[in-house]
Amino acid sequence: MERVIMIKYGELSTKKGNINFFIGTLYKNIKEKLKNYNVNIYKDISRMYIEFDDQDLEKILERINNIFGLHEYVVAYKIETDIEKIKSTVLEIVKKEPFKTFKVETKRSDKKFPISSLEFSKEIGGLILKNIDNIKVDVHNPDLLLHIEIRNTNTYIYINHYEGLGGYPNGTLGKGMLMLSGGIDSPVAGYLSLKRGIILEAVYFEAIPHTSMEARNKVINLTKKLAKYTNKIKLHIIPFTEIQESIYKNIDSEYCITIMRRMMYRIMEDLVKLRKAQIIINGESIGQVASQTLTSMQVINNVTNYPVIRPVACLDKLEIIDIAKKIDTYDISILPYEDCCTIFVPKHPVINPDLSKCIEYEKTFNYEEMIHKAIKRRIIMDITEEDINKFSDLL
């Protein structure tokens, strides 16, 4: 018997005027994710279907479980819409299943089919009762719920039912630049923004020789984990040493972190423009550290007019860790390699920084030229979940 994966659009069907764009993007994303498999994917206004080779089913399900915009799917037996054929298939399916109680639910989208949904469910229920001993109907809490969907030429019969990741299809809501450190929060922020349909490019600030290649590898591996939910992620590695050293040479230690983050935001703003993105995304969480008080956020945010989206801003650390474990980034994030934020941490970073003081401090060194140079000298890598495809050094 032929089986297909049948995808229900769920929430996407509420996208009225944009529905074709959302579903078209989902279709493209599924096609890309399954490009190494022998599949045939097609869609109509209410369903998408994937025909597959039986031996690939598990692998394919694993892959589509990482696709955003997919809310609900089933693995269904596909047969032609013919009453006798439906009956014999139903018997073949239910005979393989252990159950004591059952219910049949028919959905008839082909109104040419001569029997109403309710009557057909009753007829099939009677057929099952006649052919299998010691079972009964339970309409409230059945062991086995048999679905029959009668569509134009084909009918789909299924008993299982899976929930997808939800969210919006990747690529339906523009592009964001993610500040990706090796920590726990920023990969989670990346995952949550991918869920909203945003395409990501990641940006990592490194301060070699104060930070190591292991720290860089950590970020590369975190990017790979995120790439599972999209096609590929461009990672920009920004040489931040000169800026950071200048800050620590010229500025009072309590303001170093504030100024450093203002420099990061300035670079992010330039990259947003350069890469034609719309927003900056990061893993800031309100109150977590001195630079994440509301006053700090305001003073740091002051250098850019682009929206800064902070998906984990209002989550507790434990809630963030739960997501990090679920998306398999936690174990990488807790590896001990130093990040550029942790190596120069002053004893008493300012909690309520003063904007005019920041501006005064920043006059003491020529940061604009340094920012320009750092962006020009960045390393860019295209990262996919499997491997690093391309490596280009823009020096």
Q: Under the rule (CB under 6 A), what is the footprint of ligand ATP?
A: 179-181, 183-186, 203-205, 282-284, 288-289, 339-341
CA distance 187 to 181: 8
Q: State the SS3 of 150-200.
A: ECCCEEEEECCCEEEEECCCCCCCCEEEEECCCCCHHHHHHHHHHHCCCEE
Q: Which is nearer to ligand ATP, 181 or 258 (CB)?
A: 181
339 binds Mg ion (CB under 5 A): no
180 contacts which partner out of ligand ATP, Mg ion, none, CB within 5 to 8 A by kind? Answer: ligand ATP
370 contacts which partner out of ligand ATP, Mg ion, none, CB within 5 to 8 A by kind? Answer: none
CA distance 40 to 22: 20
Residue 300-319 contact track with Mg ion, rule CB under 5 A, x = bound: --------------------
176 contacts which partner out of Mg ion, ligand ATP, none, CB within 5 to 8 A by kind? Answer: none
Query: Closest distance between ligand ATP and the C-beta of residue 279, in Å?
Result: 13
Alpha-carbon torsion 167, 169, 171, 172, what sign? Answer: negative
Q: Which is nearer to ligand ATP, 113 or 191 (CB)?
A: 191
Residue 165 exposed, middle or buried by CB count within 10 Å (0-12, 13-18, 19+)? middle
The per-residue DSSP string of 312-351 comes to: TTTS-HHHHHHHHHHTT-HHHHTS----HHHHT--SS--S
Q: Which is nearer to Mg ion, 185 or 339 (CB)?
A: 185
341 contacts which partner out of Mg ion, ligand ATP, none, CB within 5 to 8 A by kind? Answer: ligand ATP
Q: Which is nearer to ligand ATP, 180 or 279 (CB)?
A: 180
Query: Closest distance between Mg ion and the C-beta of residue 259, in Å?
Result: 18
Query: Closest distance between Mg ion and the C-beta of residue 196, in Å?
Result: 20
Query: Closest distance between ligand ATP and the C-beta of residue 201, in Å?
Result: 12
Q: How many residues bind Mg ion (CB under 5 A)?
A: 1
Q: Which is nearer to ligand ATP, 146 or 179 (CB)?
A: 179
237 contacts which partner out of Mg ion, ligand ATP, none, CB within 5 to 8 A by kind? Answer: none
- Measured from the Cβ of residue 369, the count of other Cβ atoms closer than 10 Å reads 10
362 binds Mg ion (CB under 5 A): no
Query: Closest distance between ligand ATP and the C-beta of residue 118, in Å?
Result: 54
Residue 157-196 contact track with Mg ion, rule CB under 5 A, x = bound: ----------------------------x-----------
The set of long-range contacts for 355-359, using a CB threshold of 8 Å and a minimum separation of 24, is 355/298, 355/299, 355/302, 357/255, 358/255, 358/258, 358/259, 358/262, 358/299
Q: Which is nearer to Mg ion, 60 or 299 (CB)?
A: 299
Query: Closest distance between ligand ATP and the C-beta of residue 182, in Å?
Result: 7
Query: Closest distance between ligand ATP and the C-beta of residue 11, in Å?
Result: 28
Query: Closest distance between ligand ATP and the C-beta of residue 302, in Å?
Result: 16
Name the residue number minimizing CB distance to ligand ATP. Answer: 183
State the first-to-last Cα distance of the chain, in angstroms, to the nearest integer: 58
295, 351 Cβ separation under 8 angstroms: yes
The per-residue DSSP string of 251-272 comes to: S-HHHHHHHHHHHHHHHHHHHH
* Residue from 155, 189, 220, 225 nearest 314 by CA: 189
121, 85 Cβ separation under 8 angstroms: no
- The overall longest dimension of the chain from CA atoms, in Å, is 89
Write out the residues near Mg ion by the rule CB under 5 A. 185
